[in-house]
Structure 1
């Protein structure tokens, strides 16, 4: 996976990488619930969060379609290890 560098990421010691294919966990923020938009591109909701936010598994080839959907404000890949994500879900009481 190619590494991307920016001053912002470098200041925080972050490694930024981008995948061109495959499935990824994404955060989708909608103007309204983005669940229908996620289903439209074949994605799977993992956790529904407050304020029209959903964590979902999305095929990266379909991410541009999701980003342009009329219900979606912003959508992009996120990275979190499974243990931290499970703890996060318990903390916020998230349900898909």
Structure 2
């Protein structure tokens, strides 16, 4: 499982790449990799919980985000190995 943070680096460029970023998010859900996408508050960027992919696949996917590629955000990827979960999240345990 991965926790990805996307922190704004140049928010002024966000509007011109928003459609591509939203398409990238949809693709992550369509591919079964993204479980949750939300905002970092207050207005600092976004966060993603991802699974079902290798670290290399996640790194490639994040690089392909137009926001990352165009310097709108800086990305940080944290790999997490769940050791204990609520039963509803048991599928995350490896």
Query: Is this a same-fold pair by TM over 0.5?
Result: no
Question: What's the TM-score bracket when you normalise by the shorter of the two chains?
Answer: 0.3 to 0.5
- Report the TM-score, using the length of structure 2 for normalisation: 0.40
Select the structure with the greater relative contact order (CA < 8 A; seq sep ≥ 6): 2
The structure with the greater share of residues assigned to helix is 2
Structure 1 length-normalised TM:
0.40
